[in-house]
Amino acid sequence: MAMANNPHMLDYEVERRQFQLNVPDHFNFAVDVIGKWAQDVEKRAMLWVGPLGEERSITFHEFADRSSRAAHLFLQLGIQKGDRVLVMLPRLPEWWECILGLMKIGAIAIPCTTLLTPQDIQYRADIAEVHGIITDSEGMQKVDQVRTQCATLQHTILVNDQNTAPVQSYWTDYRSELTSATPEYHAPELSSDDPCLIYFTSGTVGYPKMVLHTHTSYPLGHTITGKYWLDLHEDDLHWNVSELGWAKAAWSNLFGPWLMGAAMFIQDSRGKFNPLETIDMLHTYPISTLCAPPTIYRMLVLDEPMQYLKAHAPQALRHCVGAGEPLNPEVIRTWEQHTGLTIRDGYGQTETVLLCANFPSLTIKPGSMGKPSPGFEVSVIDDNAQELPVNTEGDIAVRIKPERPKWMFKEYWRSPEATAASIRGDWYITGDRAYKDEDGYLWFVGRADDVIISAGYRIGPFEVESALKEHPAVAESAVVASPDELRGEVVKAYVILAPGYNATPELASELQEHVKRVTAPYKYPREIEFVDAVPKTISGKIRRIELRERERQKKSRQ
């Protein structure tokens, strides 16, 4: 294990009281942060490992140079300040070059996952009035299917990672054009409040909304994430096992590490996630900090990966965090038993930076989201915007009056109704439910839409899923409400079995009895269905709305 530097947060309460992050009138992350680190021409920004195992070490100086060339290229094409540009790339270094280049000219980047279908691309291009699309060879084929139907699309830029030829003349070859572009670029002065990024929400409930961030909210606000939660120092090599198309990548594949001067480890893997390969990376490379979504950790703690880990221990790992959805206590316990490291769970949204976490200076309560981050007042409130007593379930809320934290989104772009609906009194409503215990720790219950009301009892799906996960037969589960004539709703569990277990009525009964033993008996799943997979968003979150609708239709036919 790596020797840890002293944590940035030695005393949680002191750090919250003393927290101060000044916002300059003008700020451009690509200039002010990358430019600062680039003064040391040898300072490493990234260790990149390609699909075939090829390695490349990239300095901040190189990213500063190539992003300036990219800025020139974009301007030559006619992309201007305020123009929206969709960036849909795998984990290629060009993703970072393009994002930084767009920031330098004041254009608005829209990072998107490579999993988008042609119809998804068209929807996003139309609703955001996209001026340009940057993608790879695979994405080019999707864009070509809908390009002429995207009314505002003027520029298509290809990062030709497969050296495919020929390409249509309306595609600009990024790699070849970049070589002739000049690295001398003087970025215009941008206001800290100028728009910088648009992210589409995961769409767990309805159509994705456009979350607009400024040059301050994410690019500077993630100091909170990188310093206090990721606990990054300049000598760290940080790995965030995240797809680049969703906001978590901005958290710790871009702003968090580079604000702290840390280098990032990037594995450009294109196939299905392989837990053994992940363990190999941790064993082979001096990765000191790890961030992964709960789905990844759940796969890593299965029997085969844990056996493999015994002979392939991490080389330098000292700190692990998880985010994206709550992490089951059993997963935290298993990981700690095998690695000696505690996964410090955190909570935030596309709309915010880190809102609360199990910070390094806090005692871990497995299953809890931890305590509010410095710079935020996070509480649990009722329908009348009043704070609730301890151990009382309500809506997770962030105080925005008398002063709105700078580290939150500007608005739901072009949706004033959605922006207004997210505010209740002096609070921003996250849409998630939780309760706060007597020590000030927050405990996730579920999305407001996910809470199950059965015979008058309110049941959070996460607690039932966590109970199921403690049984060795369960690899993953998704718990939703199923209509019931007598109780209104009952708890229904869709269960994915671990290898070596078979779906039988006896096992279903065993799982029901197991849940009764480890949590309040009224929460047990009265219905269990064994499945091979559950529907998820492109960012890996369970689409419970789809499962609820499946149950509603099924019961309506009975």
Residues 202, 293: contact at Cβ < 8 Å?
Answer: no
Distance CA 251, CA 164 (A): 33
Among 47-61, 314-328, 377-391, 471-485, the least confident range = 314-328
Residue 243 has pLDDT above 80, yes or no: yes
Residue 205 has pLDDT above 80, yes or no: no
- Can you state the percent helix, strand and coil of the chain, rounding each to 5? 30, 25, 40
Among 334-338, 346-350, 484-488, the least confident range = 484-488
Residue-level pLDDT at 107: 98
Average pLDDT rounded to a whole number, residues 433-443: 97
Residue-level pLDDT at 202: 60
Split at pLDDT 50, 70, 90, the class of 456 is low
- State which amino acid sits at residue 103: M
- The residue behind tokens 């215990």 is 437
Q: Which residue has the higher pLDDT, 167 or 222?
A: 222
Percent of the chain whose predicted confidence (pLDDT) is above 90: 80
Residue 213, classed as helix, strand or coil, is: strand
DSSP codes of every residue in 454-510: ETTEEE-HHHHHHHHHTSTTEEEEEEEEEEETTTEEEEEEEEEEPTT----HHHHHH
C-alpha closest to that of 27 among 188, 183, 185, 184: 188
Enter the tokens of residue 450.
Answer: 């996910």
Split at pLDDT 50, 70, 90, the class of 23 is very high
Distance CA 209, CA 254 (A): 22
C-alpha closest to that of 461 among 472, 449, 453, 450: 450
**Exposed (0-12), middle (13-18) or buried (19+): which is 2, by Cβ within 10 Å?**
middle
- The residue behind tokens 């998820």 is 536
Residues in the chain: 558
Residue 339 has pLDDT above 50, yes or no: yes
Q: Which residue has the higher pLDDT, 188 or 133?
A: 133
Domains and CATH numbers, the chain: 1-21+221-361 (3.40.50.12780), 60-215 (3.40.50.980), 377-448 (2.30.38.10), 450-556 (3.30.300.30)
**Exposed (0-12), middle (13-18) or buried (19+): which is 234, by Cβ within 10 Å?**
exposed
Residue-level pLDDT at 207: 63
pLDDT digits (tens, 9 = 90+) for 134-148: 999 999 999 999 999
C-alpha closest to that of 137 among 117, 167, 116, 110: 167
Task: Please confirm whether the linkage preceding 402 is cis (ω < 30° from 0).
Answer: yes
Residue-level pLDDT at 151: 97
Split at pLDDT 50, 70, 90, the class of 535 is very high
Distance CA 212, CA 209 (A): 10
Split at pLDDT 50, 70, 90, the class of 80 is very high
Residue-level pLDDT at 1: 44
Among 87-96, 158-167, 181-190, the least confident range = 158-167
Distance CA 407, CA 401 (A): 14
Residues 159, 92: contact at Cβ < 8 Å?
Answer: yes
Who contacts 155 (Cβ-Cβ below 8 Å, separation ≥6)? 77, 78, 79, 85, 131, 132, 133, 172
Split at pLDDT 50, 70, 90, the class of 327 is confident
Residue-level pLDDT at 166: 61
Q: Is the dihedral of CA 68, 72, 77, 79 positive or negative?
A: positive
Q: 423: how many CB neighbours lie within 10 A of its CB? A: 15
Distance CA 293, CA 240 (A): 9
pLDDT digits (tens, 9 = 90+) for 363-408: 999 889 999 999 999 999 999 999 999 999 999 999 999 999 999 9
Residue-level pLDDT at 551: 95
Distance CA 286, CA 282 (A): 7
pTM, whole model, 2 decimals? 0.85
Residues 86, 122: contact at Cβ < 8 Å?
Answer: no
Residues 319, 290: contact at Cβ < 8 Å?
Answer: yes
Who contacts 418 (Cβ-Cβ below 8 Å, separation ≥6)? 209, 412
> φ, ψ for residue 24 (rounded to 5)?
-70, 160
Residue 358, classed as helix, strand or coil, is: coil
Who contacts 297 (Cβ-Cβ below 8 Å, separation ≥6)? 322, 327, 331, 335, 343
Residues 104, 96: contact at Cβ < 8 Å?
Answer: no
Residue 558 has pLDDT above 60, yes or no: yes
Which residues, listed in sequence order, are joined to residue 352 by a DSSP beta bridge? Answer: 408
Residue 59 has pLDDT above 90, yes or no: yes
